[in-house]
Chain A
Amino acid sequence: MELTKENILTLLEEVKDPEIPVLSLVDLGVITGVEISDEGHVTVNMTPTFAGCPAMDYIKKDVERTLDKYGITDHTVIMSFDQPWDSNKLSERGRQHLKEFGLAPPPKYDLILDLDILEHVKCPYCDSENTDMRTPFGPTLCRSMHYCNDCRQMFEQFKPL
């Protein structure tokens, strides 16, 4: 395999969010850069979704393991806040995967979060917007909990941030 940024990103498609196993890190938007030096040293820059997310350390190690697996042993993986994550960085494909997984994808928004954005989330099961937020916190830091008044089910949303 030729050492190019595109090829490295293709390999990293394999690494999934351990709590949402349908979502790759690339689609999640947490890989902020890949650099390859003239000597062939690979640097992968990453940023956490939520600063307190306990999965981040694991995810970073997973990136290192995946690079090793493909024989790329000369590497550095850096986790930083240099290019902070926001939920607009989730790819279209990632949003589709979340919905199929039963998690409402976050709306694209102007990064000014208010209650309106959280109150009327589209239900991932029946597409109704007649829903209520039950709590802005859920089973993981990145999820809020909602109720659909049409199909009468609780569902979770990947929170806009």
Chain B
Amino acid sequence: MNELAIKDLLYKLADDQLILGHRNSEWTGFGPILEEDIAFSSMAQDKIGHSLAFYTLLQELGEADPDTVAFTRNANQFHNSQLVELPNGEYDFSLIRHFLYDNAEIIRFEMLSQSSYDPIAKVATKLKGEVKYHVLHANTWIKNLGTSTEEAILRLQSSLNEAIPYALGLFEPSKYEQELIEAGVYPGEEAVKAEWLKRIVAVIEKTDLKLPSLATVEPKLGGRYGEHTEHLQPLLDEMAEVFKIDPTAEW
């Protein structure tokens, strides 16, 4: 198996989680209610822990240690989707992003738990149980708020319309796509996307929200190849601010 293909897959998994973990952490102290403050903070901790598990696999393949990889790259070296780097916006946007992202992530982990590449399969087997809580959380709130007041429904709908092109960017194929599929490492983005669509539609159908017609939506691509919005570099600068004061410090 081509090691570059495995590394590409690991970077995309790890970077999505690191960046969304950081965005989730920005809710700490600002959640609309205490339980949501705790929920986003907990998911931040989980996601950063999950990124560490994948960066550790990368280190075993000869990449730099996780802290160096996380804190010293520039935006154009990150493989995350643009969806996760967008600013939190208001709570409705964060909730919609969380719903769209975590429903995709759990499918990735479920499928990767069957991967022919054993180290990924083991990590994914562990993480899919943890992400289940993120999905339960997102689906519960989307169902509750998506059937509540007119304002809540309008806000969620507008955030859904805004987030959908970026959510489709989650499934941007890698240049090693065919190779990974043939080796049984990963079933590929099209397979993940098809299952994702079924699951989000099943939730959205229970609400007053409408999924925009995907045929007319232009996906926001490029994230997997290092092309990012103007929002990523400031996020990285803030995330690494303390680390860069003294990269050799023992924590």
Contacts and interface: CB of A to CB of B under 8 A. Distances in A.
Given A52-B130, A159-B133, 15 more contacts: A50-B130, A51-B46, A51-B49, A51-B50, A51-B52, A84-B126, A115-B136, A118-B136, A134-B35, A137-B38, A137-B42, A139-B38, A141-B45, A141-B46, A161-B129
Contacts of B23: none
B137 A85 contact: no
A126 to B, nearest CB: 23
B48 interface: yes
Contacts of B133: 136-137, 159
Contact of A81 (B42, B47, B122): B122
Contacts of B39: 135-137
Interface in A18-60: 47, 50-54
A86 interface: yes
Interface of B: 35, 38-39, 41-43, 45-50, 52-53, 122-123, 125-127, 129-130, 132-133, 136-137, 140
B38 A136 contact: no
B137 A136 contact: yes
A138 to B, nearest CB: 7
A83 to B, nearest CB: 9
Contacts of A159: 133
26 contacts: A47-B126, A50-B130, A51-B46, A51-B49, A51-B50, A51-B52, A51-B123, A51-B126, A51-B127, A52-B52, A54-B45, A81-B122, A81-B123, A84-B122, A84-B125, A84-B126, A85-B126, A111-B129, A113-B129, A115-B136, A136-B39, A136-B133, A136-B137, A137-B35, A137-B38, A138-B38
A145 interface: yes
A53 B43 CA distance: 11
Main secondary structure of the interface of A (DSSP, over half): loop
B50 A52 contact: yes
A138 B140 CA distance: 17
A2 interface: no
Contacts of A80: 122
Contacts of A141: 42, 45-46, 49
A52 B47 contact: yes
A156 to B, nearest CB: 12
A50 B49 contact: yes
Contacts of B38: 135, 137-139
Interface in A54-96: 54, 80-82, 84-86
Interface of A: 47, 50-54, 80-82, 84-86, 111, 113, 115, 118, 134-139, 141, 145, 159, 161
Nearest to A54: B45
B122 to A, nearest CB: 5
Nearest first, the 5 A-B pairs at minimum CB distance are A52-B49, A137-B42, A84-B126, A135-B35, A51-B49
Contacts of B140: 115
A149 B183 CA distance: 53
A51 B53 contact: yes
A77 B130 CA distance: 24
Given A135-B35, A136-B136, A137-B43, A52 B126 contact: no
Q: Which one of A47, A52, A118 has the highest number of Cβ atoms from chain B below 10 Å of its Cβ?
A: A52
B125 A113 contact: no
A81 B49 contact: no
Contacts of A137: 35, 38-39, 41-43, 133, 137
Contact of A161 (B47, B48, B50, B130): B130
B45 to A, nearest CB: 5
A81 B125 contact: yes
B53 A81 contact: yes
A116 B28 CA distance: 29
A113 B50 contact: no
A53 B129 CA distance: 14
